[in-house]
Structure 1
Amino acid sequence: MGPRRSRKEASVNTPLPPVATTDPATLSLREAFAFLDDRIAGRVLISGDPGWDAARSAWNLAVDQRPTAIVVATTTDDVVHTVRMAAELGVAVAPQATGHNAGPLAADDGLAGVILLRTHEMRGVEIDAEARIARVQAGAQWGDVVAAAAPLGLTALAGTAHDVGVVGYTLGGGVSWLARSHGLAANHVVAIELVTADGAARRVDAENDPELFWALRGGGGDLGIVTALEFGLFDVPTLSAGMLLWPIERTAEVLTAWSEWVDGLPASVTSVARVLRLPPMPELPPFLSGRALVVVEVAMQEDPARADELLAPLRALVPEVDTVHPQSTAELLQLHMDPPQPVPGHGDGMMLDELTPAAIRAFVDAVGPDASSALLSAEIRHLGGMMDPGVARAAASVHGTPQPGVTAGFAAGFLLFGVGIAMPDNGAALAASLDRLLSAVEPWRADIDYLNFAEHARPAERFFGDDLERLRAVKRSVDPARVIRSNHPIG
């Protein structure tokens, strides 16, 4: 207790950043945060405290988060106390686990007047193998879930990297390597534990507060602070996955063949086409390090013979490298080659209605071999199958499972995302390259956007369309004072 009290005394004497509060003195806030620190199992940090800069860092190191205070929560009670304190102080609370997609959250004011509630230490995972249900805490990452489920022969609808947070990914929808056959991860959530703006801990499902349950599944993080999720796991008996690589000079040829190949594919196949410009890095294999490439990544729930049959049109292009092989679903976390640790980045995405020959030409002109692009990766993901919202809702009706939430799927054919590593000397070039890519494909842009791939703020109508007013009614009912802050507010 001695060192803990000394740390607090030092914090009280540290100036706080400006906050949106009517309190007559900043000292009252310092005292309130010290009081909160005493009451929770976790810890409260303010500017100047040891660990402050690490705690405020987002996964994207280019994002500058400057909140009024940070609470590192370790229990649901910590979350309850924090929300109640925030309401009393007249400040907001922004939950954050890994800090993916934090750019829109900190864009305007750096989170002034906001308590950043970090949940990354709440990483418990429980698996009910018989029921094929996972229960995960707020800070769990997909690597945690896969490590627990895979030895039991079960598969989660995980993100493309081990360190993606389960909660944020799922609340935004969740597009996995199995999404064309299984739909969005949000559609398979069976229960949600959360703390709402009144400081109440709730558990909602299809029978208990079904309207809030509907809104949370794909509505993002604006409705409450989720402390645990329960969702379905699956038996995926056969899988072949990997990548096919060609030199970047063959981008137009490969993308044309890929766009024709995906037309009519069974829902058992999910694939991504991307252009990579990789820097020389010793941790990369020689066939990738320092190379500019066009790549097709595939995950195929087919036996090897059928996978070979389906891949024949792409293999006829004679890829320089072909890594497709039978594997466990746990290996899918490595397929997309996401950075293994936080990096500074600049990126954004959009959805496309279709991928016409003209759209392919525009994409190639923006990022292909003759483009002076600073982007590390420009990718196009094939959607459809169970990601079609009508198909997802019809399947739920047939199987007697709960109807999907606000984001059942996407009325779009493809998902595009471009990103580069932000360095001190390439900011202008990187921004120009991303703008060039997004502008080039704008004519084929769909009417909807995907929360998890929207790295910059945009109107809520872009995410929720005709469901927005219903969603806003739920927000008003559970958070009329807008205590909860998210990266993509409902409004």
Structure 2
Amino acid sequence: MDIAESAMDGLVARLKGEVFTPQDAGYARELPGFNRIGQHRPDVIVAAQSAEDVSAAVSFAARQGLPIAVQATGHGIAAPALGGVLVSTRRMNAVAVDPVTRTAYVEAGAQWHQVIAAAAPHGLAPLNGSSPLVGVVGYTLGGGLGPLGRQYGFAADHVTCIELVTADGGVRQVTRDRHPDLFWALRGGKGNFGIVTGLWFGLMPVRRLYGGGLHFPGEQAAQVLHTWRRWSATVPEEMTSSVSLLRLPDVPDVPEFLRGVFAAHVRISFTGRAEEGERLVRPLRECGTPLADSVAEMPYTAVGDIHQDPAHPLPYHERNIMLRELGSQAVEALLRVAGAGSSCGDLMVEVRHLGGALARPAEVPNAVGVREGAYTLSTLSAPGSPDVVLGAMEEWGTGRRYLNFLAGADTAGSAAECFAPETLSRLARVKAAVDPDNLFRLNHNIAPLP
């Protein structure tokens, strides 16, 4: 799109940060996110350094009639920005912890490892996800399901204040008392209502875990899954766990014993005493012959070692469904499509145990739409890979998907599947009130109610 030189000059004059167009040398360096499944090609990139920069970028886009995309780390890319304005927030990465109120404040581009490190000296922990490299804001707005979930709920449940730039360029402080409908919608509706430039949320009194992983040979996947299924129905809320079926490539980033082989990986996060954790985990240890066993007492700062998510960018589809139950028939069906001897090519097929605090309403209601699920079933797949596993498991599904476990252009239209009809309708009404022209549509979009 041709943009008048005077308009560009006006944008540059308002910014502390930089502006890049396709003709600029820094344009290509600013584009890539962590997930390379999609590539942005905007008309303009604004490398924001402050809320005022974000406000200027949004006002510029609105005057030009351009859609707006936002990128901090780029883990959850849906619709690539092919044209429009991309607001890059990665330079806005300040983090502050208040140990007295047990709260944290982050700017738009902060990552979880920063919050974990800042909270740990005070015996506190955030409700981060499995990878410490994920951006705090996008993860939290999408719900936020992590290793402390069964005990403390979704990250969105503990947000207390949001600084938001809306489609009119205004900067709002959004709380349960100020803009309550918007506060409800932002916590679960993700990036549909503006650009979050600051976030305040509660921290948990967690200093250490009994956690880690048990890796088993792929031929033992059936006994591992069946044992874990029965076991997960008996454990306390202090135990959050999952099982992944892994088919990882033979590359240096992958531990040598997992390269190019099929394996089952049980992930354990327990906040109780180590002796109790060891007792609880014993049936899993004894269900097969582990290739590796890293489950032990650990500081919370090592939480990323549990899932061992990739640390370097790569392209992948991420898809999921919510399961209402996981009985023996469901496990057998999963093994047929993803177990030993199957034709499954997914890099990872993971079942996460939900329930506990994840099933209870938030103290301050929000739009997180998957509390009825007993488990999530998600897949990570190489570019071009079709969805085979999830389709075979729909019989046990709730009909919902979890917003944060969706990435790739084929998931861009999936927002409607993440919410009950009445929740989606309310989200669309809030969207109409704050973004009637749907400027924020380069995402898992919720269209404004006409």
TM over 0.5: yes
What's the CA shift for 1:230?
0.2
What CA distance in whole angstroms lies between the structure 1 residues aligned with 2:202 and 2:276?
Answer: 27
Shift in alpha-carbon separation, 1:282–1:488, aligned structure 2, 3 A? closer
The DSSP-based 3-state class of the residue aligned with 2:70 is strand
What CA distance in whole angstroms lies between the structure 2 residues aligned with 1:92 and 1:81?
Answer: 14
Shift in alpha-carbon separation, 1:132–1:46, aligned structure 2, 3 A? same
Deviates more, 1:161-170 or 1:471-480: 471-480
What's the CA shift for 1:211?
1.3
Aligned partner of 2:424 in structure 1 is: 468
Aligned partner of 1:86 in structure 2 is: 61
- The correspondence of residues 69-148 of structure 1 with structure 2, limited to 5 A, is 69-102=44-77, 104-106=78-80, 110-112=81-83, 114-148=84-118
The DSSP-based 3-state class of the residue aligned with 2:236 is coil
What CA distance in whole angstroms lies between the structure 2 residues aligned with 1:237 and 1:376?
Answer: 32
What's the CA shift for 1:273?
0.5
Q: Give 1:384's aligned amino acid.
A: G
Aligned partner of 1:14 in structure 2 is: none
Aligned partner of 1:477 in structure 2 is: 433
What CA distance in whole angstroms lies between the structure 2 residues aligned with 1:152 and 1:255?
Answer: 37
Aligned partner of 1:43 in structure 2 is: 18
What's the CA shift for 1:101?
1.4
What CA distance in whole angstroms lies between the structure 1 residues aligned with 2:415 and 2:204?
Answer: 32
Give the alignment partner of residue 316 of structure 2, picking from 333, 337, 345. 345
Aligned partner of 1:242 in structure 2 is: 212
Shift in alpha-carbon separation, 1:80–1:282, aligned structure 2, 3 A? closer
Shift in alpha-carbon separation, 1:488–1:285, aligned structure 2, 3 A? closer
What's the CA shift for 1:32?
1.7
What's the CA shift for 1:487?
1.1
Aligned partner of 1:453 in structure 2 is: 405
Conserved 8 A contact 1:460-1:489: yes
Q: Give 1:449's aligned amino acid.
A: R
What CA distance in whole angstroms lies between the structure 2 residues aligned with 1:284 and 1:64?
Answer: 25
What CA distance in whole angstroms lies between the structure 1 residues aligned with 2:248 and 2:428?
Answer: 42
- The correspondence of residues 31-430 of structure 1 with structure 2, limited to 5 A, is 31-102=6-77, 104-106=78-80, 110-112=81-83, 114-320=84-290, 321-388=292-359, 391-393=360-362, 396=363, 403-407=364-368, 409-422=370-383, 427=384
What CA distance in whole angstroms lies between the structure 2 residues aligned with 1:313 and 1:74?
Answer: 51
Aligned partner of 1:400 in structure 2 is: none
What's the CA shift for 1:478?
1.2
Q: Give 1:416's aligned amino acid.
A: L
Q: Give 2:445's aligned amino acid.
A: P
Conserved 8 A contact 1:374-1:420: yes
Conserved 8 A contact 2:370-2:419: no
Conserved 8 A contact 2:113-2:132: yes
Residues 303-326 of structure 1 show CA distances to partners (whole Å, capped at 9, x for unaligned) of 111112111221221432221101
Shift in alpha-carbon separation, 1:436–1:408, aligned structure 2, 3 A? closer
Tell me how large the CA RMSD over aligned residues is. Answer: 1.6
Runs of 5+ unmatched residues, structure 1: 1-18, 20-25, 397-402
What's the CA shift for 1:417?
1.3
What's the CA shift for 1:238?
4.7
Residues 337-365 of structure 1 show CA distances to partners (whole Å, capped at 9, x for unaligned) of 11112111223111111112222122112
Shift in alpha-carbon separation, 1:310–1:359, aligned structure 2, 3 A? same
Residues 253-304 of structure 1 show CA distances to partners (whole Å, capped at 9, x for unaligned) of 1101110110131111011101111223334443333332111111011111
What is the percentage of aligned positions where both structures have the same residue?
Answer: 39
Q: Give 1:325's aligned amino acid.
A: A
Shift in alpha-carbon separation, 1:463–1:27, aligned structure 2, 3 A? closer
What's the CA shift for 1:419?
1.2
Q: Give 1:458's aligned amino acid.
A: G
What CA distance in whole angstroms lies between the structure 2 residues aligned with 1:64 and 1:270?
Answer: 34
Aligned partner of 1:7 in structure 2 is: none
Conserved 8 A contact 1:343-1:421: no
Residues 183-213 of structure 1 show CA distances to partners (whole Å, capped at 9, x for unaligned) of 0000000000011111111111111111111
Conserved 8 A contact 1:238-1:302: no
Q: Give 1:475's aligned amino acid.
A: K
What's the CA shift for 1:370?
0.2
Shift in alpha-carbon separation, 1:264–1:486, aligned structure 2, 3 A? farther
Residues 23-44 of structure 1 show CA distances to partners (whole Å, capped at 9, x for unaligned) of xxx252x442233123201111
Conserved 8 A contact 2:125-2:207: no
Shift in alpha-carbon separation, 1:462–1:358, aligned structure 2, 3 A? same
Runs of 5+ unmatched residues, structure 2: none
The TM-score with structure 2 as length reference comes to: 0.94
Conserved 8 A contact 1:411-1:448: no
Q: Mark the structure with the bigger radius of gyration.
A: 1
What CA distance in whole angstroms lies between the structure 1 residues aligned with 2:253 and 2:189?
Answer: 38
What CA distance in whole angstroms lies between the structure 1 residues aligned with 2:44 and 2:3?
Answer: 13
Aligned partner of 1:437 in structure 2 is: 389
The DSSP-based 3-state class of the residue aligned with 2:115 is helix
Conserved 8 A contact 2:212-2:296: yes
Shift in alpha-carbon separation, 1:204–1:181, aligned structure 2, 3 A? same
